[in-house]
Amino acid sequence: MRTVFWENNELKMIDQRILPARFEVLSYRGHKEVAHAITDMVVRGAPAIGAAAAFGLALAGFESASSSTSGLLADLQAASVTLKAARPTAVNLAWALDRVMAVVSTVGGERSADDLRQLVLDEAQKLADEDVEINKRMAEHGAALIDDGDTIIHHCNTGALATVDWGTALGVIRTAHEQGKKLHVFVDETRPRLQGARLTAWELEQYGIPYEIISDNTAGYFLKAGKVQKCFVGSDRTAANGDVANKIGTYMLALAAFDNGVPFYPVVPTSTVDLSLAHGDLIPIEERDPQEVLGLEFEGQRVAPKNAKARNIAFDVTPNRLVTGIVTENGVAYPPFEVSLKKMVLGK
Ligand code: MRU
């Protein structure tokens, strides 16, 4: 089953907030509810929220009462603004919405409003289908970097759940496993929302890939002990120079990998590369509700004192000097990334 899919005129999404305890698929009929689901992380992971937003735009088309093309386009534009505001860091959100809007705006006046509604849905479906195909291509390039017997550190969740299907970094690991390579994965638990401990572990279990969950601060220990051969992570936005924004904690992992000479590979579909940003300091970084940090419990008790304050920065930026190579669907980019990434994205 896909993480995000269209069925019976509704958008369906696996509820990632409650996994692995419960598996539920939620249905959506309105774009505002989809925007809220993205903010609330029912759906999460850069490519998955891009696809969800594109289908959200399709819902906005069917919600619009406008019989004129211009009225419908205005409603779609307003919905696109609402959906874009749901989360700031993953560029796939804006990329997906801009892609669908560009298609409908180009043909705009030549088609009836109903034709345009269908066109939005068709483009969203196309984008979702392409995501799966792109991930599989990317996984082949990435799996070639993995040797039989490797132990890999993986951060956050980058699997089928973070995409429409298959996954980015976890997709690479999954493909290498299917190729018959014997692997072991250290799964960073990924505080505070525990995407690693909850979602990555759940996926690896289903794929039959051996893994152990480690607390985020354990990665340095195993890297220094020579127990890890490679790190694979995803990205929410990668700048033109190869600076990689990803789940908070990725930077510290990259530092420890670099210090110990362990290759560090972000797996990044070209839809996640933002060539308009020269470097990673320009990437907007989401700060979420401190409650996600303060709400953590230990032995059934809230950890923090009652009046404690917290900061909840959701992403950090790993500078390109710590990155060995960036795996894309068009191949692996190596330094200098200013040149190689552009080639991967634009083909020149
Ligand atoms: O806050 P999340 O869970 O949406 O963050 C997800 C990540 O950081 C992933 O590593 C990233 O989206 C790339 S993997 C598809």
pLDDT tens, position by position, 301-328: 999 999 999 999 999 999 999 999 999 9
Residue pair 72/184 in contact (Cβ under 8 Å)? The answer is: no
Write 93-96 long-range contacts (CB < 8 A, 24+): 93/38, 93/46, 93/49, 93/50, 93/53, 95/50, 95/271, 95/272, 96/50, 96/51, 96/53, 96/54, 96/124, 96/127, 96/271
Using a pLDDT cut of 70, give the percent of the chain over it: 100
Number of Cβ atoms within 10 Å of the Cβ of 145 = 18
CA quadruple 169, 207, 212, 180: dihedral, nearest 10: -80
HSE of 122, CA atoms in CB hemisphere, 13 A: 8
| Residues lining ligand 1, Cβ inside 6 A | 44-47, 90, 156, 158, 162-163, 168, 195, 234-236, 246-247, 314
What residues does 245 pair with on adjacent strands?
Answer: 237, 317
Task: Compute the distance from residue 69 Cα to the ligand 1 centre, in Å.
Answer: 36
Confirm whether 236 is a catalytic residue: yes
Q: Which residue owns the Cα nearest ligand 1 atom 10?
A: 234
pLDDT at residue 218 in the model: 98
pLDDT at residue 75 in the model: 98
Residue pair 232/154 in contact (Cβ under 8 Å)? The answer is: yes
pTM over 0.85: yes
Task: Compute the distance from residue 200 Cα to the ligand 1 centre, in Å.
Answer: 11
Task: Compute the distance from residue 234 Cα to the ligand 1 centre, in Å.
Answer: 7
**Could you give the residue range(s) of every CATH 1.20.120.420 domain in the chain?**
4-136
Locus of tokens 């690896």: 204
pLDDT tier for residue 210 given thresholds of 50, 70 and 90: very high
Task: Compute the distance from residue 122 Cα to the ligand 1 centre, in Å.
Answer: 26
Does residue 165 register a pLDDT over 90? yes
Task: Out of 87, 135, 157, 173, give the residue to mutate to test ligand 1, the one with the largest number of ligand atoms within 8 Å of its CB.
Answer: 157
Structure tokens at 126: 């196309």
CATH code for residues 140-346? 3.40.50.10470
Q: Provide the residue count of the chain.
A: 348
Task: Compute the distance from residue 242 Cα to the ligand 1 centre, in Å.
Answer: 17
Given this structure, which CATH class describes domain 4-136? Answer: mainly alpha
pLDDT one-digit tens code per residue, 241-259: 999 999 999 999 999 999 9
Helices (H) and strands (E) in the chain, counts: 11, 16
Helix (H, G, I), strand (E, B) or coil at 258: helix
Average pLDDT score over residue span 142-147: 98
Does residue 109 register a pLDDT over 80? no
Structure tokens at 248: 């908070």
E strands of the chain, at which residues?
4-7, 10-14, 25-28, 151-154, 184-188, 211-214, 230-233, 237-239, 244-247, 264-266, 273-274, 297-298, 301-302, 315-318, 326-328, 331-333
**Phi, psi (degrees; rounded to nearest 5) at 336:** -75, 125
Average pLDDT score over residue span 164-191: 98
**Phi, psi (degrees; rounded to nearest 5) at 13:** -140, 140
Task: Out of 166, 193, 195, give the residue to mutate to test ligand 1, the one with the largest number of ligand atoms within 8 Å of its CB.
Answer: 195
Task: Out of 44, 161, 317, give the residue to mutate to test ligand 1, the one with the largest number of ligand atoms within 8 Å of its CB.
Answer: 44
Helix (H, G, I), strand (E, B) or coil at 208: coil
The Cα–Cα gap between 82 and 64 comes to 14
pLDDT tier for residue 348 given thresholds of 50, 70 and 90: confident
The Cα–Cα gap between 307 and 107 comes to 56
- Kindly name the residue from 75, 131, 216, 236 that is annotated as catalytic: 236
Q: Which residue owns the Cα nearest ligand 1 atom 5?
A: 45
Q: Left (φ > 0), alpha (ψ -120 to 50) or beta: where does 164 sit?
A: alpha
Q: Report the chain's C-alpha Rg in angstroms.
A: 20
Q: Which atom from ligand 1 is nearest to the alpha carbon of 272? A: 13
**Could you give the residue range(s) of every CATH 3.40.50.10470 domain in the chain?**
140-346
Q: Which residue owns the Cα nearest ligand 1 atom 14?
A: 158
Number of Cβ atoms within 10 Å of the Cβ of 34 = 30
